Amino acid sequence: MGRLSVDLCGIELDNPVIPASGTFGYGYEFAELYDVNILGTFSFKGTTREPRFGNPTPRIADCPAGMLNAVGLQNPGVDRVIDTELPRLARVFHKPVMANVSGFSLEEYAEVCARLDPLPQIGWLEVNISCPNVHGGGMSFGTDPAAAASVVRAVKAVTTKPVIIKLTPNVTDIAAVAKACEDAGADGISLINTLLGMRIDLRTRKPLLANTTGGLSGPAVFPVALRMVWQAAHAVKIPVVGMGGVSGAEDVLEMLMAGAAAVEVGAANLIDPWACKKIIEALPAAMDRYGIKTLRELSRAR
């Protein structure tokens, strides 16, 4: 057990760094650039029952210290993921991967999780009830504790793998949603998904994103994310995966000190494809600077 290793729902990670869903594809764009086996794991692109193109473009807007996206869950659908993406991934990634699942109904969440459940390649199911860029699904489940709990129960009924529920920050009381997920049987929670935002093109006087609104991520959201991870971690006993604007090793340490068991890195991968590798390599020196011997001692301190 190395000094960087942590435990996530009973599975040991060599380090707590996990590229976040939607910023790492199904892994192989990055596997061309570095050995992705150095990662704790990664969360693959949000997968739905049917293939989806997602929202019209433009889907991306630059922001002060961050970005907006309104991709809208573009993915090839669960069948293609099982038949094509995962076998391709197996050639370059030899650790359990985190499967990110999205849906528009309880049945869809359950069906996609049931399809993915038997695959030994998958370590965790990260169930996204927080996508701000689709209508009639996603975030509408994550903004209401009772609806969130219903997704947890639907998914837990069909899988044996650890279920991590990905939460939206676009709520008044994150502790209530976190607690509802725990009470319904979730094995962990991850947060934050993006914060709902928008920008206007001064020339056209119209919203810059074709979807009007999008999700804000990047360093701009880090303090908000940290606060919500802290609040969620104090409300539940299950592991919390912290994310939101994490860009360096010291951000990882802050997240762990706020109560996270592991940390996802999103937008940073898009402006520096080697970001996660650099963060992992910088962790030991950062730990030395603050007198941290092992990352487990931070998790235990929660």
Confirm or reject binding of residue 77 to other proteins (CB under 8 A): no
Tell me the C-alpha distance between 150 and 130, whole Å. Answer: 14
To the nearest whole angstrom, how small is the minimum distance from the Cβ of residue 41 to other proteins? 17
| Phi-psi sector, 54: left (phi>0), alpha (psi -120 to 50), beta | left
Q: Catalytic residue at 131?
A: yes
Confirm or reject binding of residue 56 to other proteins (CB under 8 A): yes
For other proteins, which residue of 18, 39, 61, 110 counts as binding (CB under 8 A)? 61
In DSSP terms, 191 is beta-bridged to 242
Contact by Cβ (8 Å): 132, 170: yes
Contact by Cβ (8 Å): 110, 141: no
Tell me the C-alpha distance between 181 and 175, whole Å. Answer: 10
Confirm or reject binding of residue 138 to other proteins (CB under 8 A): no
To the nearest whole angstrom, how small is the minimum distance from the Cβ of residue 65 to other proteins? 6
* Residue 62 or 173 with smaller CB distance to other proteins: 62
Residue of 98, 2, 37, 17 lying closest to 296 (CA atoms) = 2
To the nearest whole angstrom, how small is the minimum distance from the Cβ of residue 178 to other proteins? 28
To the nearest 10 degrees (0 to 180), the angle between helices 249-257 and 222-235 is 30
Q: Which stretch binds other proteins (CB under 8 A): 66-74, 87-95, 166-174, 232-240?
A: 66-74
For other proteins, which residue of 1, 10, 57, 87 counts as binding (CB under 8 A)? 57
To the nearest whole angstrom, how small is the minimum distance from the Cβ of residue 273 to other proteins? 6
Residue of 9, 63, 113, 131 marked catalytic: 131
Q: Which residues are catalytic?
A: 131
